[in-house]
Chain A
Amino acid sequence: MEILIYTLLTAPVVALLIGFCFSNHRENPIYGSAILGVAVNMLAAIALLVMWLRGGMASVLVKGPVLYHAKESEFALTFFLDGYGLAYILLSTFLTGIIVVFSRTYIHREKGFKRFFNILKFFYCGLMVVLLAGNLEVLFVGWEIIGVTSFFLISFYRERYLPVKNAVKVVSLYRVADVSMLLGIWVCHHYFGRSINFAEMNGLNDAQPHIMAHGFYEFFIPATFLLAAMVKSAQVPFSYWLPRAMEGPTTSSAIFYGSLSVHIGVFLLIRTSPLWEDNVVFCVLIGLVGLSTCIVATLIGRVQSTIKTQIAYSSVAQIGLMFIEVAMGLYWVAIAHFICNALLRSHQLLVSPSVLNYQIHNQFFHFSKPAAQETEGLINKLKLSIYTLGIKEFNLDRFMFRFLWRPLKKAGAFFGKLGTQNTYILALPPFLMGAWAAYHKEVVPESLLRYLPEAFAFFGLIFILQAFVERRSALNAWALIVVNQLYQALAFSFNEEFDMSQVYLYLSGIVVSAVIGIWIINRMRNNGEDVSLAKFHGHSFEYPRLAFLFVFACLGLAGFPVTPTFIGEDLMLGHIHENQFPLLILIVLNLIMDGLVIFRIYSRLFLGPHEKGYHETAYRSS
Chain B
Amino acid sequence: MSFDKDRLFDRLKHYLPTQAALKDFVHHNPLHAMQDQEFFKAIFSASRIFGIKATFSFNEYRKLHEAGRIKVDFVERVIREEKGADAVKEWKEKMLNGNYPHTYEPRIGSLREAWKPRLKCSLDDRVQPLLFRIICSYLDQGISLWHFPFEDRGLIEAIRTIEKNSFSSFFTSKRVRDLLMDDGLSLEALLKIVVGREELYEQYVLDQQFTHKGWSGIINAIEDQPGTLFYEKKIELRDFVMLELLLEIDAIDQELPGGWKPLGEDQALKSEDYFAEVPTGEMEEVLKLWQLAFEWDYYDRVLAGVGYLNKQKRRQIEKETSFQAIFCVDDRECSLRRHLESVDPNCDTYGAPGFFGVAIYFQPFGGQFVEKNCPVPVTPKHLIKEVETTHSHGSVPFHDKKLHTFFRGFFSSLSLGLMSGARMVLDLLRPSMRADIADAFAHMDVNGKLLIECEDPSLVEHDAQVGYTVPEMADVVEGILRGIGLITDFADIVYIMAHGSSSANNPHHGAHDCGACSGRPGAPNARVFAFMANHPEVRNILKNKGIEIPQTTHFLAAMHDTASDEIGYYDRSAFSAVHKEKHEENLAVIEEALDLNAKERARRFASINTNQDIKKIRQAIKKRSHSYFEPRPELGHGTNALCFVGTRHRIKGLFLDRRAFLQSYDYRQDPDGEVLAKVLAPLPIVCGGINLEYYFSRMDIEKMGAGTKLPHNVVGLIGVANSSDGDLRPGLPLQMIENHDPVRLLMLVEHSPEVVLRILNDSPANREWFVKGWLHLVVSSPEDGELYSFRDGEFHKYEPIAEVSKVEDIKKAIHSHPEMKSNYILDATKENIPVHVYEEA
Chain A residues near B (Cβ < 8 Å):
24-25, 94, 98, 101-110, 156-157, 160, 162-163, 165-166, 243-244, 246-251, 253, 294, 298, 301-314, 317-318, 321, 336-337, 339-348, 350-367, 369-370, 372-373, 375, 380-382, 384-392, 397, 612-622
A355-B436 in contact given A301-B404, A348-B403, A615-B57 (Cβ < 8 Å): yes
**A388–B124 alpha-carbon span in the complex (Å):** 21
**A400–B509 alpha-carbon span in the complex (Å):** 40
Let me know if B417 and A341 touch, CB within 8 A: yes
Contacts of A317 in B (CB 8 A): 406, 409
Let me know if B823 and A109 touch, CB within 8 A: yes
13 pairs, CB–CB < 8 Å, chain A vs chain B: A157-B722, A162-B723, A163-B711, A253-B711, A318-B409, A355-B399, A355-B436, A359-B141, A359-B143, A372-B152, A375-B164, A389-B168, A391-B134
Cross-chain contact of B700 among A357, A364, A382, A616 (Cβ < 8 A):
A616
Contacts of A380 in B (CB 8 A): 165
CB distance from B628 to the nearest CB of A (A): 6
Let me know if B711 and A363 touch, CB within 8 A: no
Residue B627 is within 8 A (CB to CB) of chain A in the complex: yes
Contacts of B710 in A (CB 8 A): 106-107, 110, 249-251
- Which of chain A's residues has its CB closest to B104's CB? A613
Cross-chain contact of A166 among B632, B703, B723 (Cβ < 8 A):
B723
Residue B726 is within 8 A (CB to CB) of chain A in the complex: yes
Residue B707 is within 8 A (CB to CB) of chain A in the complex: yes
**A94–B420 alpha-carbon span in the complex (Å):** 12
CB distance from A297 to the nearest CB of B (A): 8
**A357–B439 alpha-carbon span in the complex (Å):** 10
Cross-chain contact of A348 among B398, B425, B505 (Cβ < 8 A):
B398
Let me know if B414 and A340 touch, CB within 8 A: yes
Let me know if A98 and B137 touch, CB within 8 A: no
**A53–B404 alpha-carbon span in the complex (Å):** 35
- Which of chain B's residues has its CB closest to A386's CB? B168
Let me know if B162 and A388 touch, CB within 8 A: yes
CB distance from A427 to the nearest CB of B (A): 26
Residue B636 is within 8 A (CB to CB) of chain A in the complex: no
Cross-chain contact of B367 among A25, A165, A341, A365 (Cβ < 8 A):
A365
CB distance from B394 to the nearest CB of A (A): 10
Cross-chain contact of B413 among A24, A344, A363 (Cβ < 8 A):
A344
Let me know if A109 and B738 touch, CB within 8 A: yes
Chain B residues near A (Cβ < 8 Å):
22-23, 51, 53, 57, 59, 102, 104, 124-125, 128-130, 133-134, 136-137, 140-147, 149-150, 152, 161-170, 211-214, 230-231, 364, 366-369, 393, 396, 398-399, 401, 403-406, 409-410, 412-414, 416-418, 420-421, 423-425, 428, 435-438, 504-507, 509, 606-607, 627-632, 699-703, 707-717, 720-727, 729, 738, 821-823
A353, A373, A614 — most chain B CB neighbours (10 Å): A353
Let me know if A25 and B822 touch, CB within 8 A: yes
- Which of chain A's residues has its CB closest to B422's CB? A343
Contacts of B738 in A (CB 8 A): 109
**A369–B148 alpha-carbon span in the complex (Å):** 12
CB distance from A338 to the nearest CB of B (A): 9
Contacts of B421 in A (CB 8 A): 94, 343, 347
**A165–B723 alpha-carbon span in the complex (Å):** 11
Contacts of B231 in A (CB 8 A): 363, 367, 369
CB distance from A523 to the nearest CB of B (A): 23
- Which of chain B's residues has its CB closest to A306's CB? B715
Cross-chain contact of A619 among B140, B230, B702 (Cβ < 8 A):
B702
Contacts of A244 in B (CB 8 A): 723-725
Contacts of B22 in A (CB 8 A): 356
- Which of chain A's residues has its CB closest to B510's CB? A357
Let me know if A360 and B23 touch, CB within 8 A: yes
Let me know if A384 and B57 touch, CB within 8 A: no
Let me know if B167 and A385 touch, CB within 8 A: yes
CB distance from B747 to the nearest CB of A (A): 28
A304-B144 in contact given A157-B711, A621-B128 (Cβ < 8 Å): yes
Contacts of B729 in A (CB 8 A): 622
Let me know if B405 and A302 touch, CB within 8 A: yes
CB distance from A534 to the nearest CB of B (A): 10
Let me know if A358 and B713 touch, CB within 8 A: no
Given contacts A24-B822, A298-B406, A355-B436, 10 further A-B contacts (CB under 8 A): A298-B405, A351-B399, A352-B713, A357-B436, A363-B230, A373-B149, A391-B130, A391-B134, A616-B700, A622-B726
A620-B124 in contact given A247-B711, A340-B418, A364-B368 (Cβ < 8 Å): yes
- Which of chain B's residues has its CB closest to A611's CB? B104
Contacts of B150 in A (CB 8 A): 372-373
Let me know if A344 and B166 touch, CB within 8 A: no
- Which of chain A's residues has its CB closest to B504's CB? A354
Contacts of A249 in B (CB 8 A): 710-711
- Which of chain B's residues has its CB closest to A353's CB? B505
Please give me the 9 A-B residue pairs with the lowest Cβ-Cβ distance, nearest first: A340-B417, A613-B104, A373-B149, A347-B420, A314-B404, A249-B710, A305-B140, A618-B702, A358-B436
Cross-chain contact of A246 among B404, B418, B607, B724 (Cβ < 8 A):
B724
Let me know if A304 and B143 touch, CB within 8 A: yes
